[in-house]
Every structure is written in C-alpha cells, then in structure tokens.
Structure 1
Amino acid sequence: MSTLRFKALAQLPFIDFRKDNAVEVPKKLSELFCENVFSEETMRNYLTKEAFTSIQDAIKRGTKTPRHIADQIAVAMKDWALSKGATHYTHWFQPLTGSTAEKHDSFFTPFESDRAIERFNGSMLIQQEPDASSFPNGGIRNTFEARGYTAWDPTSPAFIIGTTLCIPSIFISYTGETLDYKTPLLRALSAVDDAATDVCRTYFDKNVTKVTATLGWEQEYFLIDTALYQSRPDLILTGRTLLGHSPAKGQQLDDHYFGSIPTRVMNFMKELEIECMKLGIPVTTRHNEVAPNQFELAPMFEETNVAVDHNSLLMDIMARVAHKHHFHILFHEKPFKGVNGSGKHNNWSLATDTGENLLSPGKNPKKNLQFLTFFVNSLKAVQEYSDLLRCSIASASNDHRLGANEAPPAIISAFIGSQLYSVLEELEKVTNGKLSPEEKTELKLNVVGKIPEILLDNTDRNRTSPFAFTGNKFEFRAVGSSANCAEPMTVLNAIVAKQLRTFKNQVEELIAGSKLKKDEAIFNVLREYIKECKNIMFEGDGYSDDWASEAEKRGLSNLKTTPEALKMELNEKFVSLYEELGIYNHREFEARNEIKLEKYAAEIDIEAKVLSDIARNHIIPAALYYQNRLIDNVKGLKEIFSESEYGDLAKDQMDIIRSISYHVSEIKVGVDELLQAKEDANSTHNAQEKAERFCNEVKPRFDKIREASDALEMLVDDELWPMTKYRELLFTR
C-alpha cells in the first residue's frame, strides 16, 4: 500500500540540498541595496530637475503631479527599466483578497507593419484598468460590472521583478469606492500627519512641517519541505494541518529559539536577503523562532506606506525563493496544533521632519512634555477604540493564535513598564487647575525631568500584551503572520489622529476658558486621560484567568472570535470616526465588514470540506485496511493455537480492532454531522449570521474528527498511515 506520505519521504534522500542550493553573496549587501528600485538616487540620474522636484513634492508634500511631468517621469522610468532588462510593466496593487495582484502590459508597441518601439507615457504610468470583477467588493457593485482602476502611488517607489516594472498603485471601483488596503492607509497617514503636525507646531516646535508614521514589522513563518507539503491536502488547501498527532518532542526544550540555523535554511535566507536588498527592503535580522522549522526576519523602520508595501512584496518573494530551495513557506497563524503559531509584530511610532521620534523621551522637560503628550494620547486612542483595534486583526487564522499561550489574548490592553507607570501616577496627582511655582518646579524637574533616566533600558517586553511600549515605540503584537499590515496601521493611525484632534481642542478650550498657560493646560488634560486609560494598562500575565476576570470588571471586551469582533465593527462611533477623517464613507466601511465576514465563512467552509475528504478518503480506508490485517492475524491465531492459548494471545489485537472500529465510527458520525452543519450554515444569506453559524456550529465539530483521527494515528501501522506526520513535517531538515 503506497501512500503520498512515503512517496514524499522517498524523494528527500535524492536531493543534495547543501550542494545544489549553496548561495554566495555576490558583493556587499549595501552595494546591492535598491539595485532594482526607481529610487531617489536613480531619479536624480534619469529625471530632469523639474521632474525630480515635482515627484519629490508629491512624495513629501502630497502635491499632484502635472500631466506633462508625468510624461517625463514615465519616459525616464521606462528607460531605466529597459536598461534592467524589463519588457513589461504592471500596476502592482493590494486588493482585499489578502494577496497582491498585477496585470502585465508590454512596452512593445508596433507603429508600422514591420516596425515597433517600446512605449510608456504618463497616462500609462498614472492609470491602468484591470478587470475588477473577481475582486471582493462587499456588494458595492454587481459582479458583471468588471471595470476598476489602478492609480499610481508616487510615495512608494517603483521596482523591477524579473522582466516586469512594478508600479505601486491604489485600486478603486468605477464609481470611486476603494477596493484595496492602500487607499485607506494613505488617508489615515495623511490624517495623523495633519493632526500630529498641528499639535507639534502649536505647543512644541514651530519648525515641524510634517509628521511621518513609521513601521517596523517582524515577520514569522514556517518552512516545510515541498515534497512533504504536497503530501498534505490540508496544508495545500487551507494553510494548516487539520489532523496530526503531536510528536514526542515539540518545542518543550526551547532548543530551536535563537539556535544555529540549519544549512539549508541559511541558504534560503541568504538568497532571500539578496533579493530583498535589490528591492530596497532593509532586512537586518534573521533567526530561529521558538517552534521547530519556524523562523523570523525583520527590517529597519520605514515610513509606514513603504513598509506595508515592502512586507507584501516580501511575502511574494519569500514564496518564490523558498520554491527554489525545495521549501514551501507557511504564513498561517497556526499551521500546527501544539506548537507556537506565527505573528507579525507591528512596531509603530511617529517621527517629525526635524528628525525627532515623538515617542522617544527627550533630554529636557520640554521635550519630555512633548513625549508625554504623544505617549498618553496614543494610550487614550487605544482606550477609546480598543474594539476597533481588535477588529483590525480579526481573521479565521488569527483566532487560533490569539490567547494560545504564545500570542497576546483577544483582550486589548497596554503594557508600559512599571517605572513609566509610576511616572504617569505622579502626573495624575497634578493639581487640577493653575500650578504654583513650586508645583511647576516639582513637576518639571522631579517627574517630567526624570523620564530619560527612568526609561533608559527599562522597558522590558511583555509577550502577553497586545500593545506594549518598548522604549521609543509601541509594539502591536497581536497582528497575525498572514495579515496585510495596512489594516491595523490604518486603524492605529486613524484613532491616534482623531485623539490628537480631540486633545488639541480640549487644551485650547481650557486655555480660553480658564486663562491657564499652555503647559498647565496640557498637564491638566493629560491628567484626565491618564485616569481614563488606567483600565487598559496591565503589567501582568495576559494569559492568566485572573486577567480575564479583571478585564471584565474593568469593562474591557474579550472578543475571542472574528464574528464577535466584526459585529462590533459597525458601531456608529467607529463609522463616524472614519467618515470624519475621510478614510471610508459609510458604504465602503459596511462593504469591508461584509467582505471580512464572507471570507471568514468561506475559510471555515473550505476547511470543513477538506477535513471531511481527508477523513473519509484517507484516514478511514487506512484504518480499515490495518484492521483487516489484524483480523486476518487473529483468525490465524485461532487456527494454530488451542482455545485457552488463543484467548490470551489475541486479546491485545482484539482490543486494537475494537478501538479502530470505535474511532472509525466516531469519524463517520462526526463527518456526517459536520457536513450537515456546513450545509445549514450555507443556507443563511446574512453575512454576520452565516459567519456566526460557521464559528459556533461548524468549526467546533472539527475537534471530534481530529481527536478520533489522531487516536488512530497512534494505533495504525506507521507504514500504512497516509498522512505525513508532525515528526516529519517539523523535523526534516
């Protein structure tokens, strides 16, 4: 009996991974950096002074590029791309499918019967028209209405992959609604820029003309041998293992974390870094993660829009490079039961065009007041919009990971460190109203003035906190590995923008109504915010049952599943926030909510089909085949041994036969119940109700089938078991 598993395992000895896939770095990584990017330096070499100034204004100030300048840029971009061997161009965009998309058009243009040129003008650069009928739209338009537009985003540089010039773009419907992740992100970044710049210029530094949100993501992932991956239908179709008994050794000894990187993996990492450097992705960190076959890489901080593009691009590159090294890469948040899943920590901060990090303490009381203003307002934004932040990370795959003793819980709280917490407690004691000279001195010198000393190497990391302050940034740890960073970054920047607007209005009202000086008014407003934010500040173990009980007392939501979270998303408070900031209109926001609900239901539906198929067509036949062999053996024992001997000798085998029958019956009944529940859920047309039924009635039925199958895995002859086992998937180097 030949199985996919043994065919896959048989391939491994014939591949000399060390020899066939050795990678040598051709030159210094710094020399490779941005080799295939239409970077600022490249622009200087290819553009006229007028065109260069125009595109820099578009990047830094958001000004529109005139059409004649767009023509100049297009010609320069084409000439550069042709010099790199490019033959086609595409508007590279990020639709709501969760992956990237592109439609390639050739530069080649015939102009006589036997003559042709390479053509690319401003119209082609600025806009492209892909068929939008297959992309999610949440009911914004009919399926037969195929037209959609991509439009060039000049704030993110063009790049070349293979022979294609890729132009980062937004994606909108024919009627103007957003159909991608990038458009709302750009709007949120503009909103936080306006609000933060206004606060800086009004209270701290009139030289600030722009505030940029920065992002540094940390990408975790698993590498699985391609042959073994192909032997698992569940991995191929769902990204995770729906069945599989835990191996004798998993991650218990933590001997993988930061350990020596296997040679084959190192070759993959080397080639990946080379490709990243060429495309301007500044990756600097690589290491083993806690689980076997799990790894991580992280880049330097970048402007958020570029960082989001780079992360989406990176995920594409990783898949291509992994294939060359006979690996398949898994971004699913929980591909294996019983071992850590994968996240994508989003490290966020705000930086001014004068070179300051607004979440970094300064060297004097004035700079520390600035730090406290942005720090406390960030906490206040999370406190006001914690449910919306939870919605931004909601997905079927991330539900497996959140709170599973490896990732933060679904309760949104903030960790700031005990010493900074004590600073806020001191600030909370500030007299409400006008400060005496002594109080001003005490506050500025003994509280605010001590912040640099207190924060120096003091902010320990709390892996159980979904939103942790780590010295000069906030780390949003709850983002899932497969997620597009754009959604959580859209939400975070939007809520901070809204909060900074509110803060400035309250300070101005206090100054006007009470004649308080600027610093006194700021202290008084921050003091009230600190009191209100205490319910989300938590310094302890987020995994503990005590915290869940305490969080409930504090009135914090514990939205454990995606349908629960998305039901909260349509709160009028959140809709009003987006409409006020111009990030979504009501129709767009409802459409996105529906898309996420439909995606959730579809993913559980697919998992149910795959699990039913594997259980019926792989597990049960293998179990019955082995059971029949045992039955034949028992019959043989009866023929050759006396009645008294036979009973003792056949007892253990008879027990196994009974156990197999019991578990096979459990699987059969479980599959029937699962398919009926799936059919019932699909009969529901309301997106919220359908997602809830898949969550509460379909998904829980997976466990019964899995438990019976995993029990059979420990009973059936290893040579007959059809599914590649965890010990092979996780420990094959």
Structure 2
Amino acid sequence: MATLRFQALKDASGRKPVKFEESGRKSDLFGSNVFNDKAMKQFLTADAHKGVKDAVQHGTKIDRKLADYIAMGMKEWALTKGVTHYTHWFQPLTGTTAEKHDAFFETSYDGLEVFEKFGGGQLVQQEPDASSFPNGGIRNTFEARGYTAWDPTSPAFIFGTTLCIPTVFISYTGEALDYKTPLLRALNAVDEAAVDVCKYFDKNVKKVTATLGWEQEYFLVDASLANSRPDIVMTGRTLLGHTSAKGQQLDDHYFGSIPSRALNYMRELEEECMLLGIPVKTRHNEVAPNQFELAPIFEETNLAVDHNSLLMDVMSKVGERHDFKVLFHEKPFQGVNGSGKHNNWSMATDTGVNLLSPGKTPMSNLQFLSFFINTIKAVQEYEELLRAAIATASNDHRLGANEAPPAIISVFIGQQLTKVLAELESVTKGKLSPEEKTDLKLNVVGKIPEVILDNTDRNRTSPFAFTGNKFEFRAVGSSANCANAMTTLNSIVAKQLIDFKKEVDALIEKKDLKKDEAIFNVLREYIKETKNILFEGDGYSEAWEKEAKRRGLSNHKTTPTALKAKVSKKALDLFKDLNVMNHVEVEARYEIELEEYTKKIQIEGRVLGDIARNHVIPTAIRYQNTLIENARGLKEIFGKDFEKLAKEQISLIKEISGHIEGINSNVEAMTEARKKANALTDAQKMAESYCDKVKPYFDVIRAHCDKLELLVDDEIWTLTKYRELLFTR
C-alpha cells in the first residue's frame, strides 16, 4: 500500500512536522488507492470488468451474480492494500460526507472459523439509519429505514485502512436523501438533451458528458490558536475580533512565495490526492493572509463532485497532522476576503469535442453558438433558481461584499463575443425567410475565431462568466457541496436544450427551412431575449444594482428570501419534468435548507452571547478594576490634583462601562428576539425572523466587543487576536 512519509524532525514545540518528504513522480502515484480500470483488469474476471464498464458508459444494470464477482475482486484488491474495513460513502443533506465502517471479518455459524467476507449484497446495498439525517419531513423519527446503493460511475477508493464505496442515499419510500441522486438524474437529463442537439451537427455523437473543474479556496490557521477561539471551534468563523493593522491592503500575499509550513501541508495533501485519484494541479496563495487555493484538472461532473467532497475531508485530516485548522467558511475573518469555490463547467461529446469551444469551420462554430447561447438563455430563464442553489448562511457574508460576485445573477461573455452576438442579431431585421441564403448566415458565424480562450479580460465581479471554453460559476461558496449548484445548472441547461430542439424542429417542419437556417433563426431570437442577463461592467457598483432592478433581475441578498425560488411552480415543474426531483424531494430540500440556516444563526447567536458575557466582559471589568485602583492611588498621592492626573484613566473607565452596558443590553435583546423566533412554527417565517430580527444584533454586539479589544490590556485579553490568527505561520 502506498504510504506517505514524514521526516522525523519537529519544531521547537515538539509538535509540528517541519518537513514532508515527497515520494516519487505524481504520475506513478496517481490512483494507486482507487479501484480504477487498471485494478479492475487485474482483479476482476472479463465478464465482471465488462459489467462495470457497461454500467458506467451505458447505464446497464449489474445483476446480483455479477455483483458477487465484482465484490470478490474488489475485496481481494483491498486486502492487498492492508484494508480491514469497508463502508458505503455517501453525501447526506448535512453538507458533509457520511460513512459507517464494517469489518471484512466474519465467523462461521458455529464460531469455529474466521474469514474475510464481502459479497455482492454488501457491495450493492446497505441500510444505514435514515432518521437522524436531514429529511425535510419525508420521514418520521420512528421511520428509520434508508438505503445506500452503489454508484459504479464513481470508483471505490481506499482511505486509511477502509475501502470506501461511493453510493446514493434514499429513503425507504424511494425519495433521495442525498446530493448525489438528483445530480446523477440531472446529468442524465443534460446528456440526453445535448445529444439530441448534437445530432444536428454530428450523427456519431452518442453521449455528452458535463464536466467540472472546481477551485477550492481555504484558510490555514494554527490549530492551537484556532482552538483558543470558541467561535472558530463552534461556527467555523470569528464572530468578533478587531481587524489587524496589516491585512491584505498591500496585496503582498496573493501569488507570493508559499510559507514553508503551508507548503509542507500542501505537499502531503497533494500526495494523498494522487493516491486517491484526485487530479489536483494548481496551488497558490490567495488574496487574504493565510488564505490559499488549489484546483484540479477537469473531470466528469459526478466524479468531480465526489472528489471535492473527499478532498475537504482529506484537507482537514492532513491539516491535523501539520497542526493546522482548515477553515472552509466563506467569511471566517471580517475585513479580509472570504473564500469561494468557483465551478468551471462545460460539456464534452464522446467524439472528443468541447461543446463550448469554437471549432475550425462555420458549422462547428454554429454548434458552439447553439450551446453557448442556450446556456445564456437557461440562466436568463432561471436566474432566481441559480441564486437559490448557492444560498447559505455562510455564503450570505461573501456575496456582494466587494470581494465576490453580487447576489444578482448575470452573465459575462466579454467584448468580442458581445460583438459577435450583435452581428448575428443584425443579419436581418426580421426572421429568416426560406428565400434567404444560408451562406450569409454561415459567413457571419464563420467570423468567430478558432480559439476564443483568453481573448477578453476577466471579470471577477461576475457570478457566471464565460472564460474561453467554459462557464465559470463564481458565486458558489467554499464550504458548499458542488452538487447543489451543478444539479441546478445542468437541469436548467437540459430544459433549455429540449425547448430549443422543439423550436428548431417546428421551424423546419412548418416553415420549410433548412436545418441550419432554422437553428440560426431560433438563436437570433434568443440573442434578443437574453440581453437583460448579459452584463460586462462592475458587479460591485451601486449603479449595477439600480440597472439590474430596471432590467427585472432579482437581487436576493439573504438566504431565506433566495430559497423561495426553489419551491416556485416554475422550479417544481422543471425538476419534475426532467425526473431530477419530484415535488416531495424539492420541498424537503427547501425545508432542510431553511432549517439549516436558522440553526446556524441560532448557534452563532448563542456562541456570540457566551463569548461576549463570559470572556469579553469579565476581561474588561478586570482591566477596569486595574484602572480604578490606579486612579485611587493617584488620588491618595496627589490629593486635589488627582482629577487632572487621572483624566485618561477616568475617561477609559467610563468608556469601558459604556461598552459593557452596550454588550449586556444587546445580548439580552438578541436573546429575546431568539425566543420569539423559536416560537414560530413556519420554517420560512422562522428563518426570516432569525435573519431580520436576531442577526442584526451580531454587528452591534461585535462593535462593542471590538472596541474593548482596543482598550483593554493586551496581556489579559483572553481571545487570540486577528494579527495572531492571520500572521502566525
């Protein structure tokens, strides 16, 4: 079994590994702990190997007898790697991964023999308790049965000494209780819809795969310092803390030399990723101090989502070995940039064509335009639903904060493509008639250059930007499961492609137009209809907010407001018609996400109240007492000159008292607001109450605490400060 290696050196504290020794070429390590095609060829029979490949490529079901042979080979492979347990690895609606480990170890019925056992039944299905996972009212507490079912499209892998089998998670009554199941359905829908459109251009296309390349941003904080902060431990972010004198204003961290301790962490992380088949490629410093990013090579979307979920687990575990706390929260520190997870999305055919990359001929460009413009049209039609897909309590801190895209969903395509679309729109004033020549249209289409990559500037303020051969969904939060955004994006594109084909076919049949004329005709109408969603300017500006409102675009700045789009008739019909989610599954997710929002704000409020009253106020009083004793001493020594000499001390005593009173009164008011919110029974109203009535107290309480941090003696301040959290390396 491939293993990682530490040099046995320690730093002065005796805790932190100071050097990680990389072993071998990455290409030699890649996928060593994955039951990939190479491993399957070695450990499976020809029929079993073919069964898995057919399931992956064509969706063919694997019968139970074949599953037994696959399980046998998978077990033998795992045992050669020193594995002792197996688990069905799944992604429930908690936002994290879940696993229940079972040993291969078995005994005979009489207990006289022991052996390793793993059969097809154990591979294909398990029954974890479903009652303790979020279900949005689908299941009662006493209805505990749920099933995990093997997903052969995502290969099994070894983590530690456990064989992990990626699975879906469904209830006893069949509803999806995870992120993976709707994603797989959405990917199937976009595959079928895209293949139908591709056949206009190439009859040989049989499959279209949605691809994803995520960019994971994160903070590394010394674990001992992070653990000294109750707010980081309990909520993943700092609920108070005055900004450091030096932050990111010098722009000296971005793309700078990676600190050695962080680099050692990255080296081990990358080697773990290589073993697990996660194709990480890029690492660098991000904008904020102690903020970093890593990014992989593009993969099929389902596998990319699994890899990102696995990666976050691996990052945390490797971080522990380097005495780091890895923060995925979108805004762990006030006053410096937060973290996102840009989702770079495209589609590729089984003939090797990226559908969002122009080709060498006008007809290839017409194919590109069909998918390019239809994606824009899909965003135009479902911008509110796309916003809802990235709505969380933590991402609300980041969106529109002059460091990330605004809450307004718009599409950036760059000056050149804007010009191309304008030319296409102006070919004729009306719709194409049968008499109009096709070559006019093809000449215009042919003007698009062969490669558009990097022919326009980037717009970091755009939430959905075309970046040469893909769309970059920049608004996804760093802690999010990519499946939520990808299920929505692939669903809306699938729906749009289906509508597009219907319109083209209708024109061909009714207007007697040639195929390419009909395609161009429909595309040109889409260009006219999608102008409102296209925006090339500064998404951070107040002018854009006003302009977006004039255009009729939504601007949902908070999660409770944004989530309403998920249960609109339009959204319910979309998911139902595509067989991605039925009404029960959509409404359950809506309830779960509202409840999650409420609970996170509730926890933050309780933690903030605890820190303010049990850390900040006692420390402030202790320092205030020191000032009082000092003033008394001055009075004893100087008598009537006391007031002049103790002027600063008296002023500080009064100022501290004012902040203590401000903290106490606002914590009490916040607690009362929480009680009122908790009394509500409607999930939407409760979330709105926490958002509008409870959360506003956070800033007020924080302001008083942060002022006290500046006033109180640094030696007795009990909370680790920003300058220590952000600059200890």
| Bin for the TM-score computed over the shorter chain | over 0.9
Q: Counterpart in 2 of 1:275? A: 272
1:437 and 1:323 mapped to 2: Cα distance? Answer: 71
Q: Deviations over 1:598-634 (max 9, x none)?
A: 0000000000000000001000000000000100000
Q: Residue 70 of structure 1: CA displacement?
A: 0.7
Q: What secondary structure is seen at the aligned counterpart in 1 of 2:168?
A: strand
Q: Counterpart in 2 of 1:106? A: 103
Alignment partner of 2:675 out of 654, 679, 694: 679
Matching residue's letter, 1:710: D
Q: Deviations over 1:207-235 (max 9, x none)?
A: 10000000000000000101001100000
Q: Counterpart in 1 of 2:65? A: 68
Q: Which aligned pairs between 1:457-476 and structure 2 lie closer than 5 A?
A: 457-476=454-473
1:261 and 1:217 mapped to 2: Cα distance? Answer: 21
Q: Counterpart in 1 of 2:500? A: 503
1:438 and 1:557 mapped to 2: Cα distance? Answer: 39
The yes-or-no answer on 1:154 pairing with 2:160 is no
Matching residue's letter, 2:224: A
1:499 and 1:284 mapped to 2: Cα distance? Answer: 33
Matching residue's letter, 1:42: A
Q: Counterpart in 1 of 2:46? A: 49
Q: Counterpart in 2 of 1:708? A: 704
Q: Counterpart in 2 of 1:543? A: 540
Alignment partner of 1:323 out of 287, 300, 320: 320
Q: Which aligned pairs between 1:215-226 and structure 2 lie closer than 5 A?
A: 215-226=212-223
Q: Counterpart in 1 of 2:7? A: none
Alignment partner of 1:416 out of 410, 413, 417: 413
Alignment partner of 1:22 out of 16, 19, 23: 19
Q: Residue 113 of structure 1: CA displacement?
A: 2.7
Q: Is the 8 A contact 2:453 2:467 kept in 1?
A: no
Q: Counterpart in 1 of 2:690? A: 694
Q: Is the 8 A contact 1:193 1:212 kept in 2?
A: yes
Matching residue's letter, 1:225: D
Alignment partner of 1:172 out of 170, 173, 194: 170
1:725 and 1:667 mapped to 2: Cα distance? Answer: 19
Q: Counterpart in 1 of 2:128? A: 130
1:441 and 1:174 mapped to 2: Cα distance? Answer: 58
Q: Residue 82 of structure 1: CA displacement?
A: 0.6
1:483 and 1:239 mapped to 2: Cα distance? Answer: 13
Q: Residue 66 of structure 1: CA displacement?
A: 1.4
Matching residue's letter, 1:514: K
2:141 and 2:427 mapped to 1: Cα distance? Answer: 60
Q: Which aligned pairs between 1:344-493 and structure 2 lie closer than 5 A?
A: 344-431=341-428, 432-434=430-432, 440-445=438-443, 447-452=444-449, 455-493=452-490
1:436 and 1:641 mapped to 2: Cα distance? Answer: 104
The yes-or-no answer on 1:37 pairing with 2:34 is yes
Q: Residue 434 of structure 1: CA displacement?
A: 3.7
Q: Is the 8 A contact 1:420 1:454 kept in 2?
A: no
1:380 and 1:539 mapped to 2: Cα distance? Answer: 16
Change beyond 3 A, Cα 1:416–1:43: same
Give unpaired runs (5+ residues) of structure 1: 1-10
The yes-or-no answer on 1:227 pairing with 2:210 is no
Alignment partner of 1:333 out of 325, 330, 334: 330
Matching residue's letter, 2:351: T
Q: Residue 648 of structure 1: CA displacement?
A: 1.7
Q: Is the 8 A contact 2:330 2:398 kept in 1?
A: yes
The yes-or-no answer on 1:728 pairing with 2:724 is yes
Change beyond 3 A, Cα 1:163–1:454: closer
Change beyond 3 A, Cα 1:13–1:656: farther
Matching residue's letter, 1:14: S
Alignment partner of 2:645 out of 649, 655, 663: 649
CA RMSD of aligned residues (A): 1.3
2:646 and 2:247 mapped to 1: Cα distance? Answer: 35
The yes-or-no answer on 1:601 pairing with 2:583 is no
Q: What secondary structure is seen at the aligned counterpart in 2 of 1:450?
A: coil
Q: Residue 133 of structure 1: CA displacement?
A: 1.4
Q: Counterpart in 2 of 1:3? A: none
Alignment partner of 1:718 out of 709, 714, 718: 714
More moved, 65-74 vs 468-477 = 65-74
Q: Which aligned pairs between 1:550-629 and structure 2 lie closer than 5 A?
A: 550-629=547-626
Q: Is the 8 A contact 1:58 1:64 kept in 2?
A: yes
Change beyond 3 A, Cα 1:164–1:456: closer
Q: Deviations over 1:391-432 (max 9, x none)?
A: 000000000000001100000000000110010011111334
Matching residue's letter, 2:633: G
Q: What secondary structure is seen at the aligned counterpart in 2 of 1:577?
A: helix
2:391 and 2:166 mapped to 1: Cα distance? Answer: 26
Q: Residue 462 of structure 1: CA displacement?
A: 0.7
Q: Is the 8 A contact 1:223 1:327 kept in 2?
A: yes
Q: Is the 8 A contact 1:681 1:693 kept in 2?
A: yes
Q: Residue 41 of structure 1: CA displacement?
A: 1.0
Q: Counterpart in 2 of 1:7? A: none
Matching residue's letter, 2:245: A
Q: Is the 8 A contact 1:398 1:480 kept in 2?
A: yes
Q: Residue 570 of structure 1: CA displacement?
A: 1.1
Q: Residue 285 of structure 1: CA displacement?
A: 0.1
Q: Deviations over 1:344-401 (max 9, x none)?
A: 0000000000000000010000000000000000000000000000000000000000
Alignment partner of 1:243 out of 240, 243, 261: 240
Matching residue's letter, 2:282: T
1:237 and 1:36 mapped to 2: Cα distance? Answer: 33
Aligned length: 718
1:524 and 1:448 mapped to 2: Cα distance? Answer: 13
Q: Residue 453 of structure 1: CA displacement?
A: 5.2
Q: Is the 8 A contact 1:433 1:520 kept in 2?
A: no
1:60 and 1:264 mapped to 2: Cα distance? Answer: 43
1:362 and 1:534 mapped to 2: Cα distance? Answer: 25
Alignment partner of 1:661 out of 657, 661, 667: 657
